[in-house]
Amino acid sequence: MLPDRTADTLQAWLRDHPGIQIICRDGSATYAEAIHRALPDAVQVADRWHLWHNLCEAALSEVKAHSSCWAGVLDAPIYDGPRAQTTLERWHQVHGLLDQGVGLLECARRLQLALNTVKRYARADRPERMLRVPKYRAGLVDPYREHLRKRRAENPAVPVKHLFEEIKDLGFTGCLNLLHKYINQGRADADRPHISPRRLARMILTRPDNLKSEHHDLLARLTAACPEMTELAVNIRDFATLLTPRQGNADRLSAWIVQVRATGLPHLHAFTRGLDRDRAAVIAALTLPYSNGPTEGVNTKTKRIARQMHGRAGFTLLRHRILLG
C-alpha cells in the first residue's frame, strides 16, 4: 500500500521490485509514465473493469443527449422551464462564436463559462441535444398514486385540491404544490410511464439474457427512436464482446473504433480517443487474461474506511486498518 498516488512514489516502489513483468492498471497517464520509466520492459494491461466503466459513462451521456428522441416514444415531458430556455440561449451563444472561428478557450472567457461546459455545448450538434427529461425520484406522493389514478379515471375534472384533501386523510404529509407538480408531470397517469436516462442506459448496457421480457420490448422501442440511439445500442453490444480476451481482438478493436467514428455519437468519439492514447495497454487487456477487476472491491473498502475516520487518520493507521481488517 503506497502513501500517495504520485508517479515518483510508484516509480520508487517498482524499482524496488524489478522482477515484475505484467502490471494491470487503470487509465491513469501518471501511472503509465511511472511504469514506463521504472520498468520499461513490463507489459502494461489496462483494467477491463475501467474500460467498461468509461464506456458506461459515455453511453449515459449519449442517452441524455438524445432525451428529446426517446422521450417522445413514452410521451414523457421534456423540461421546458426557465433553465431550459437559458440552456438553449447558451447553446446558440457558444455555436455562434464557434461559427465565427473563435476557439473553445476564448468562448469560455467571453461567456464566462468553464471550459468543460463550453465543450459540452460544442459537442451538441443541435440545441435539442441539451434538453433533458425531468428527474423523477421517489416522493411523498408515490404511495397514493393508485388512489389518484383511480379518482382521475372516474372523474377527469376532479379538482386537485379535492385530491389533496383525500390523500391527506390517508396520511399524505406533503403540500398542495407538491401534488400539483406530481400531476402536471404525468406521474399519476397509468398510460404515461417515465424512465430516467440512467435507467435506460442501464438497460442498454445490461446483458440481453439478463433483461426481463417486457424490458426487451421497451428497449427495442426506445433504441429505435432515432438512428443515433440504434447505433449506440449496436456499438455497445459489439464492444461488450471484446471484453472476453481472445486473439484477434486487436483487429476487432480497430474495426470497432472506425465503426464508432462513422456515427454521430460525440461522447463515444471521446471514448475512442482515450482508447487510442492507451492503445497498447487496451489491446493487452482485450487479448490477455490479466485483470485487476477483483481489486475494485478492495478499493471500495479502502475508501469506506477512510471516510469512517473523516480524513483525520494518518497513513500508518489507515494502512493497519486495511491490512488487518
What pLDDT, in 10s, does the model give residues 133-143?
766 677 899 89
26-35 contacts at long range (C-beta below 8 A, 24 or more positions apart): 26/50, 27/54, 27/274, 27/278, 29/277, 29/278, 30/5, 30/6, 31/7, 32/278, 32/281, 33/7, 34/7, 34/8, 34/10, 35/10
The pLDDT score that the predictor gives to residue 116 is: 93
Q: Higher pLDDT residue, 165 or 186?
A: 165
The pLDDT score that the predictor gives to residue 192 is: 54
On average, the pLDDT of the chain sits at 89
When pLDDT is cut at 50, 70 and 90, the band that residue 321 belongs to is confident
Residue 169 above 90 pLDDT? yes
The pLDDT score that the predictor gives to residue 195 is: 81
- How many residues are listed for the chain in this entry? 325
What pLDDT, in 10s, does the model give residues 287-304?
999 988 777 778 888 888
> What grid cell was written down for 55?
464506456
Residue 281 above 90 pLDDT? yes
Q: Which residues contact 62 (CB under 8 A, 6 or more apart)?
A: 228, 232, 265, 267, 268
Q: Which residues contact 285 (CB under 8 A, 6 or more apart)?
A: 45, 46, 47, 48, 51, 245, 291
Q: What is the pTM of this model?
A: 0.77
The pLDDT score that the predictor gives to residue 79 is: 67
Q: Higher pLDDT residue, 312 or 244?
A: 244
The pLDDT score that the predictor gives to residue 260 is: 97
What pLDDT, in 10s, does the model give residues 187-211?
777 555 568 899 999 999 999 999 9
What pLDDT, in 10s, does the model give residues 5-21?
899 999 999 999 989 99
Which of helix, strand or coil describes residue 139?
Answer: coil
Whole-number Å distance between alpha carbons of 111 and 129: 20
Q: Higher pLDDT residue, 126 or 193?
A: 126
Whole-number Å distance between alpha carbons of 309 and 275: 37
CA atoms within 13 A on the CB side of 181: 15
Domain borders along the chain are: 1-45, 47-75+196-291, 80-131, 142-184
